[in-house]
Amino acid sequence: MTSGLLFALVGVALFALGLAGLVLIGDVLRRILAFNLMGSGAFLVLVGLAQRNGVPDAVPQAMVLTGIVVAVAATALALALARRLDAQREGALPEDEDG
Amino acid sequence: MKRLAVFCLACAFVVLTGGALIELGPAAIDLRGQVAAQLAASGVSHPVTAVLLNFRGYDTLLEVAVLLIALLAILAVTDKPPAAPVPAHPLLQAVARGATPAMILVAVYLLWAGAHRPGGAFQAGAVLAAAAVLLHLVGLLPGWGAPGLRLRLGLTAGFALFLALAAALLSQGALLQYPPAAAGTLILVIEAGLTVSLGLILAGLFLFLSRDEGGET
Amino acid sequence: MADPLVGLVLLPLGWATLAFVLGPGRGAWAALAGIAAQAWLAWLLAAQVGAGGTARHAVGGWGAPLGIDLAADGLSAALLLLTQWLALGVALYARSYFAAGDPARRYFWPLAGFLLAGLNALFVANDLFNLYVTLELVGLAAVGLVAAAGGERQIAAALRYLFAALAGSGLYLFGVALVYGVYGTVSIATLAPLITPEAPRLVWIAGGLMALGLVVKSALFPFHFWLPPAHGGAPAPVSALLSALVVKASFYLLLRLWLGPFAPLAPAAAWLPALLGAAAIFWGSWRAIRAERLKPLIAWSTVAQLGYLFLIFPLLAVPAAFGAGVMQVFAHALAKAALFAAAGVFIQATGQDTVAGLAGAAARLPVTLFAIGLAGMTLAGLPPSAGFLAKWQLIEAALALGHWPIAVVALAGGLMAAVYVFRVLRQAFCLAPAGAPVAAVPRALEWTAFALAAASVLLGFFGVDLMTLIEVRA
């Protein structure tokens, strides 16, 4: 077994773990982590499976770079919404009346 | 009950997919050869940069738009003025002050290195953003409020430049079709613009968010 | 812009950026000018595709599989046409809808611009990974629009929507990773001849995961849970864009993959989406009939109407089924945009969102009420509306193949739609409680809602032209 194939297998497991977490977990922060785990799994499969014969392939590596940036954007947005929700739920207190 | 069902499904999925992975033969198409053959015409000598900025540059253009969308959405949900910065221990502040010039230097190096080895605009932008976050965390850089015109221009300049160049290159026959002789220079110009804007955008994802800070640091 | 294919992506990216630089709340004129130009480009493209077949553009001049190709066949051209013209109506509406100081307006124009850019890029993409990026463009922009300046309810809805969208695109991306692993390419045109019924097991898994991801993003029952709060809670112009266009984008992609590269594998699963679609029609219509508030009622109706789109999958052997799907996309998009626009008029006029609060509307807002009636005709599938044509073709295809249960579901769904539309109309013709205040509403709001609703009916007369356009296949 090449290291590429091993990466891909680990990627499958990570993806399944992340997806199961996203379905089962209620806590927002942990769901965001679960989503990132899913993404990492997909990235590992993308890179690992393409180089299962041991020769690196630049195309999926570039795709993963793109994917990571998209994941960063999505994570930032999710965190912003989670914080906003938190602030508004505390917003029952008188000092926080906007929104 | 639900937990058990999801757990069993996940395990079945891993076994099924893992098994299918192991028995897989060679791929029908190998892009490695094509990338290597066109590398000389791409303007850069590092294959990943060639794919990222040239062969699949269109993906990268849209991906910067995704980052801008996240930033816009964050701006749209937060409307409080930024909290006053809480100064950290003077020693931490001194370290952050000392690290910042070094980080800017690293960013410039990464940008330049991207043409022929691992590096490039995203890595450089991330280091710049990290410097800004570091300065914010030690209380030297306040969080950002609603962005003024200068900041808005800075946030969008890299994307606007990329977009304008992509459109201008339509005169070569297709979107983002670099003339081979000028490809290296154009890619460096785009990456330089992206480095500044990505640094600001990534820093903004953090510094605009600091507006929702309750009392905690 | 020499090539309309490229212009349709670059223009909205350009004006969205400009609108952001101009500052919070500004850029409406840039947006309107941009969308008008896009509408013209989409028209050019449709004419070009109708006359000369599929339009193509190799980005960077490399060509697939090394580079990324853009392509528009009849289906893409038709959806691009729908997107630009509908967006033009919604943009005119939005310009009058948001008051000068409304915090929801601050980032509306740039986010809407990026949303349109994402949709257009999705409709012309011909590369599985590029499609992933466009899906995220559309998804994040849509979530941003739902969340913008929202209260606790909207933020919670946006967060739920975001997680569903991310799970959907995550599943899709994993499928793409497997496909690249098996074939070494993500270009749809290159993949099409490679995928055969004897494909490795991994391709079946990949196809299933991608379909599942797209179904989650299209809010097919039972993955519809995120849609009613998000579409029912957002400002009216945003709900209109989301219900009319955004959920259709992932359906379009599913249909494109189903009929394209994955066609050799697809028949194995054709009944599953149809079954879920039937469930969506009954459950969504039932919830719409029971809804207390107007916008959630319209949002639940979206859940039901999306169900029709999935009824076509077992019937795709008959050309009428494909036509029925596209016609339903058009009919529902126009009718639903009109309904959300009309709901926005009522909310501005009466300051409330309940169905009961509509009492007396007939006398005060006759144009808007007429718009609801026309849009309701389309949803219930009454002739001569586009909704009627869609259901007619669907039933024709179902009977041609002897699958009469699908015809029964389509008829029953139309009946249930008539019930919830009638419920709204009956309430509107009730007498108003004395002294209920009614604020003045900009006339542009009423007339754009009316124009969208009228278009959903009049489209019925242009069904033949639309069907001729979508027959241009890659």
Q: Which residues does chain A have within 8 Å of residue C151's beta carbon, measured at their own beta carbons?
A: 88, 99
pLDDT tens digit sequence for B61-94: 999 999 999 999 999 998 777 777 788 899 999 9
pLDDT tens digit sequence for A13-36: 999 999 999 999 989 999 999 999
Q: Any idea what the Cα angle at residue C56 is, between residues C51 and C61, rounded to 5°?
A: 145
Helix C386-400 vs helix C404-429: crossing angle, to nearest 10: 160
Query: What does the mean pLDDT of chain B come to?
Result: 92
Look at B65 and C13 and tell me if their CB atoms are within 8 Å: yes
Structural domain contains residue C275 = yes
Task: Write the residue in C140, C150, C176 that is nearest to A77 by C-beta.
Answer: C140
Which token pair is C353? 């969102």
Q: C-contacting residues of B 133-162, CB under 8 Å?
A: 146, 149, 152-153, 155-156, 159-160
Size of the A and B interface in Cβ pairs below 8 Å: 109
Q: Which residues does chain A have within 8 Å of residue C178's beta carbon, measured at their own beta carbons?
A: 45, 49
Structural domain contains residue C186 = no
State the residue for tokens 């000018």: C33
Asked whether the ipTM of the predicted complex exceeds the cut of 0.90, the reply is yes
Give yes or no for C205 touching A (CB within 8 A).
no
Cα–Cα distance for residue pair C148/B216, rounded to 1 Å: 25
Give yes or no for A73 touching C (CB within 8 A).
yes
| Mean per-residue pLDDT, B154-163 | 97
Question: Band of the pLDDT at A96, cuts 50, 70, 90?
Answer: very low
Task: State yes or no: cis peptide before C222, omega within 30 of 0.
Answer: yes
Instruction: Give the chain C residue nearest B29 (alpha carbons).
Output: C184
Task: Write the residue in A50, A70, A81 that is nearest to C133 by C-beta.
Answer: A70
- pLDDT score for B47: 94
How remote is the C-alpha of B84 from its chain's centroid? 28
pLDDT tens digit sequence for B42-61: 999 999 999 999 999 999 99
- pLDDT score for B212: 61
Look at C152 and A8 and tell me if their CB atoms are within 8 Å: no
Task: Write the residue in B34, B152, B167 that is nearest to C20 by C-beta.
Answer: B152
Look at A19 and C181 and tell me if their CB atoms are within 8 Å: no
Query: What does the mean pLDDT of chain C come to?
Result: 94
State the residue for tokens 């590092």: B46
Instruction: Give the chain A residue nearest B36 (alpha carbons).
Output: A58
Structural domain contains residue C18 = no
| Mean per-residue pLDDT, A41-69 | 94
Beta bridge partners, C55, equal C72
Instruction: Give the chain A residue nearest B68 (alpha carbons).
Output: A73
Instruction: Give the chain A residue nearest C151 (alpha carbons).
Output: A99
pLDDT tens digit sequence for C290-322: 999 999 999 999 999 999 999 999 999 999 999
Give yes or no for A76 touching B (CB within 8 A).
yes
Burial of B43 (0-12, 13-18, 19+ CB in 10 A): buried
Cα–Cα distance for residue pair C285/C416, rounded to 1 Å: 6
CATH of domain A3-90: 1.10.287.3510
- pLDDT score for A91: 60
Give yes or no for B167 touching C (CB within 8 A).
yes
| Mean per-residue pLDDT, C47-70 | 93
Task: Write the residue in A8, A66, A83 that is nearest to B59 by C-beta.
Answer: A66
Give yes or no for C345 touching A (CB within 8 A).
no
- Distance (Å) from the C-alpha of residue C177 to the closest C-alpha of chain A? 4
Q: Are A48 and A5 in contact (CB under 8 A)?
A: yes
Structural domain contains residue C211 = no
Instruction: Give the chain C residue nearest B57 (alpha carbons).
Output: C60
- Residue C373 to residues C352, C385, C425, C426, C452, Cα–Cα distance (Å): 20, 12, 7, 11, 12
Task: Write the residue in C6, C134, C147 that is nearest to B175 by C-beta.
Answer: C6
pLDDT tens digit sequence for C117-146: 999 999 999 999 999 999 999 999 999 999
- pLDDT score for B216: 43
Look at B69 and C141 and tell me if their CB atoms are within 8 Å: yes
Instruction: Give the chain C residue nearest B76 (alpha carbons).
Output: C148
- Distance (Å) from the C-alpha of residue C455 to the closest C-alpha of chain B? 31
Structural domain contains residue C213 = no
Q: Are C244 and C337 in contact (CB under 8 A)?
A: yes
Number of domains in chain C: 1
- pLDDT score for C218: 96
Q: Are C344 and C307 in contact (CB under 8 A)?
A: no
Which token pair is C385? 């509306």
Size of the B and C interface in Cβ pairs below 8 Å: 162
Task: Write the residue in B31, B78, B205 that is nearest to A84 by C-beta.
Answer: B78
- pLDDT score for B213: 57
Of residues C215, C218, C82, C103, the one with CA closest to residue C151: C103
pLDDT tens digit sequence for B99-147: 999 999 999 999 999 888 888 999 999 999 999 999 999 999 988 888 9
| Mean per-residue pLDDT, C174-179 | 97
Question: Band of the pLDDT at A87, cuts 50, 70, 90?
Answer: confident
Structural domain contains residue C184 = no
Beta carbons within 10 angstroms of residue C313's beta carbon:
23
Cα–Cα distance for residue pair C228/C146, rounded to 1 Å: 12
Q: Are C346 and C427 in contact (CB under 8 A)?
A: no
Q: Which residues does chain B have within 8 Å of residue C147's beta carbon, measured at their own beta carbons?
A: 73, 76-77
Give yes or no for B17 touching A (CB within 8 A).
yes
CA torsion, ordered B41, B42, B46, B48, to nearest 10 deg: -130
- Distance (Å) from the C-alpha of residue B167 to the closest C-alpha of chain A? 21
Beta carbons within 10 angstroms of residue C252's beta carbon:
24
> How much of chain B, in percent, has pLDDT values that exceed 90?
78
Q: Which residues does chain A have within 8 Å of residue C150's beta carbon, measured at their own beta carbons?
A: 99
- pLDDT score for C434: 63
Give yes or no for C148 touching B (CB within 8 A).
yes
- Distance (Å) from the C-alpha of residue B73 to the closest C-alpha of chain A? 7
Interface test with A, best of C136, C163, C217 (most A CBs within 10 A): C163
DSSP element (H, E) containing A11: helix A3-24
Which token pair is C19? 């609108």
Q: Which residues does chain A have within 8 Å of residue C233's beta carbon, measured at their own beta carbons?
A: none
